[in-house]
Amino acid sequence: MDINKLSKDKLLEKCTELNITKCKSKNKSQLILLINDKLNDKITSIVEYKPYSFIEVCAGGGGLSSGLIKSGLNPILLNDFNNNCCKTLRKNHPNTNIIMGNMEDIDFNQYIDKVDLLTGGVPCQSFSHAGLRKGLDDKRGDLMFKFIEILNKIKPKIFMIENVKGLLTHNNGETLQIILNEINNNNMYNIMCHKREKEFLYFLGTNWGFKSKSSQRCFDKCSNFTRC
């Protein structure tokens, strides 16, 4: 509807419909300006309200997903191989799509270019100082590559991987370099990492093609992260 073609009476009716007050004394041009401002405000509020979406694989009991949900993100899929973990996820997130099983068996085609964040606590036993440190030769270590396959398929705007700090030193750092090279094959993400004192290592990657100011500010605040 082109409001510029409406009569003043119709414009006043539109003002009433949009709850615009103190408009009877306005001329036609002023009414059109008021209506356009109101409509633009409604469009802006709808866009700002849409929550960012995320998928988490190897979700465990849902500690990370709970934090993301409390921060306003919308979970569109949570996955874990362990039945008890999935029971916990269903208990805590009853309206969420939760899939139990191997993440490589999930069909992610429907999520291509539709996810803001992909995250996962990919199994770390093969890199941990407390384990045998078989690395990528361990079936669990190979799941890191499965995660990267999902990453390359759905192309989220941001990804985050949680692992153990032992990954930094495994095989004199060669294992970490192999993983980073695999992620960087598509030259899509700028990757940073952060080592916490309590044995954890985080990788954060952002697609710089994503023109969201809010996600940029979030990434800029990660002062504890260093470029990988």
pLDDT at 85: 94
Distance CA 176, CA 170 (A): 7
Catalytic amino acids? 124
Q: CB under 8 Å, gap of 24 or more: what pairs does 83-89 form?
A: 85/59, 85/60, 85/61, 88/61, 88/62, 89/59, 89/61, 89/62, 89/65
The verdict on 74 and 32 lying in the same domain is no
Residues 34 and 135 in one domain: no
Determine the pLDDT at residue 167: 65
Place of tokens 């009414």: 31
pLDDT of residue 219: 42
Do 124 and 12 lie in one domain? The reply is no
Query: Cα torsion for 165, 171, 173, 178, to the nearest 10°?
Result: -100
pLDDT tens digits in sequence order for the chain, 228 residues long: 577 778 888 888 888 888 888 788 888 888 888 888 877 776 555 555 578 899 999 898 898 899 999 988 999 999 999 999 999 999 999 989 999 999 889 999 999 999 999 998 876 444 444 444 444 455 545 788 888 889 989 999 988 887 656 666 666 767 777 777 777 777 778 777 666 554 445 556 777 454 444 434 444 444 444 454
* 210 shares a domain with 118: yes
Structural domain including 18 reads 3-43
Which CATH number goes with the domain that contains 142? 3.40.50.150
Specify the pTM. Answer: 0.63
Q: How far is residue 7's CA from residue 203's CA, in Å, rounded to a whole number? A: 59
pLDDT of the residue at 222? 44
- What pLDDT score does 106 carry? 94
Q: Which residues of 52-72 are buried (b: 16+ CB within 10 A; e: fewer)?
A: bbbbbbbbbbbebbeebbeee
Task: Clarify whether residues 155 and 211 are in a common domain.
Answer: yes
Beta bridge partners of 74: 53
Residues facing residue 56 across a β-bridge = 78, 119
**Alpha helix positions (H), the chain:** 8-17, 28-49, 63-70, 83-92, 143-154, 174-183, 213-220
Same domain, 137 and 183: yes
> In the chain, how many domains are there?
2
The reply to whether 48 falls in a domain is no
80 lies in the same domain as 175: yes
Asked whether residue 147 falls in the same domain as residue 174, the answer is yes
Please give the pLDDT value at position 75.
Answer: 95
DSSP 154: H
Please give the pLDDT value at position 204: 67
Domain match, 79 and 162 both: yes
